[in-house]
A = this chain, B = another copy of it.
Amino acid sequence: MSLLVVGTVAFDAIETPFGKTDKIVGGAASYIALASSYFTRDIHMVSVVGDDFPEDFLNLLKKEGVNLEGLQIKKGEKSFFWKGKYHNDLNSRDTLDTQLNVLETFDPIVPESAKECDFLMLGNLVPAIQRGVISQMKKRPKLIVLDTMNFWMDIAMDELKKTIAMIDVLTINDSEARQLSGEYSLVKAAQKILAMGPTVLVIKKGEHGALLFNKKEVFFAPALPLEDVYDPTGAGDSFAGGFIGYLAKTQDISFENMKRAIIFGSAMASFTVEKFGTERLIGLSQSEVDERVQEFIDLVQFDIALV
């Protein structure tokens, strides 16, 4: 089924304990689209770049089934740029530079061809802009997944809550779940957040896996213990892309199927962190993805027969 991805397409410059990069392609929508393209080919993207953005990458997206009609390319302007440095544990980072550039005036316009998409993935953006996208849809998508971050909780909590009230699945990390709910216990936090509107909450815990909650059930997806993690940038977005891509492919939004989708999302994230930027996510074969998913299956497989 058709999937609309909205979010940033940008440049990143990244430094980790294992190396550093010059300007490379990044942005939430880039990771989401690439990860979801392993599951569905009916993808539309709404985003904005300057005319400094490499055509190669856009051609790659097209080749992977991503319709770029909704990508605004601003003549004479520069793409969004973020520069950051990760600390030794890779769990925290400092922003060294942020140049909003085209993002400063970004007004997403959903093209006619994408207004009836069944699945909508809203990558991290200004909450009011995320809401604006929903209002442009001709019919209410079957599933709306929203990613956001602590930054908007700090400066625009009311706006964010309005947006959250309109969606189905919210994906945030554990400290954001605690901030949004005011509860330390993630079980209590989840119930408070689900009372704000979404029917499902995904709490991302990075190297510690992810939790999936609805009002009655909870599911835990582990993260794969990896030999080498080079660059965590884009892990959450690749996770979201794999998650919604799998749901769009299978056309099944039951909680049971979301469990599977979270495993596929975790698998895509596990690839992303193995190299800098989007590199590892490009050109994966079906058997590589399957083998990785099998590792997740094996990782938590046990068999207890309670009498």
Residues of A that sit less than 8 Å from B by CB: 88-89, 184-188, 205, 208-209, 211, 218-222, 225-229, 256, 259-260, 263, 290, 293-294, 297, 299-304, 306-307
**A300 — which chain B residues lie within 8 A by C-beta?**
219-222, 300
**A208 — which chain B residues lie within 8 A by C-beta?**
205, 208-209
**A297 — which chain B residues lie within 8 A by C-beta?**
304
**A185 — which chain B residues lie within 8 A by C-beta?**
225-229
Known: A220-B225, A259-B302, A260-B304. 7 other contacts (CB 8 A): A185-B227, A187-B226, A209-B222, A219-B301, A263-B304, A294-B306, A297-B304
Q: State A299–B222 Cα separation when bound (angstroms).
A: 11
Chain B's closest residue to A305 (CB) is B260
Q: State A218–B226 Cα separation when bound (angstroms).
A: 11
This chain: copies in complex: 2
**A187 — which chain B residues lie within 8 A by C-beta?**
225-227
Q: State A215–B205 Cα separation when bound (angstroms).
A: 26
Indicate which residue in B222, B259, B304 contacts A222 across the interface (CB closer than 8 Å): B222
- Of A188, A225, A301, most buried by chain B (CB within 10 Å of CB) is A225
Say yes or no: B306 contacts A186, CB within 8 Å. no
Say yes or no: B302 contacts A219, CB within 8 Å. yes
Q: Please list the 6 inter-chain residue pairs (A to B) with the smallest Cβ-Cβ separation, ordered nearest first.
A: A208-B208, A259-B302, A220-B222, A300-B300, A187-B227, A220-B299
Chain B's closest residue to A229 (CB) is B185
**A293 — which chain B residues lie within 8 A by C-beta?**
304, 306
Say yes or no: A219 contacts B299, CB within 8 Å. yes
**A220 — which chain B residues lie within 8 A by C-beta?**
209, 222, 225, 299-300
**A256 — which chain B residues lie within 8 A by C-beta?**
302-303
Say yes or no: B306 contacts A290, CB within 8 Å. yes
**A290 — which chain B residues lie within 8 A by C-beta?**
306-307
Closest chain B CB from A270 CB (angstroms): 12
Q: State A303–B259 Cα separation when bound (angstroms).
A: 8
Indicate which residue in B186, B225, B303 contacts A218 across the interface (CB closer than 8 Å): B225
Q: State A228–B189 Cα separation when bound (angstroms).
A: 11
Closest chain B CB from A88 CB (angstroms): 7
**A294 — which chain B residues lie within 8 A by C-beta?**
306
Chain B's closest residue to A211 (CB) is B225
**A304 — which chain B residues lie within 8 A by C-beta?**
260, 263, 293, 297
Say yes or no: A184 contacts B306, CB within 8 Å. no
List 26 A-B pairs, Cβ < 8 Å: A185-B227, A185-B228, A187-B225, A187-B227, A205-B208, A208-B208, A209-B209, A218-B299, A219-B300, A219-B301, A220-B222, A220-B300, A221-B300, A222-B222, A222-B300, A259-B301, A260-B302, A260-B303, A260-B304, A263-B302, A263-B304, A290-B306, A290-B307, A293-B304, A293-B306, A297-B304
**A301 — which chain B residues lie within 8 A by C-beta?**
219, 259
**A306 — which chain B residues lie within 8 A by C-beta?**
290, 293-294
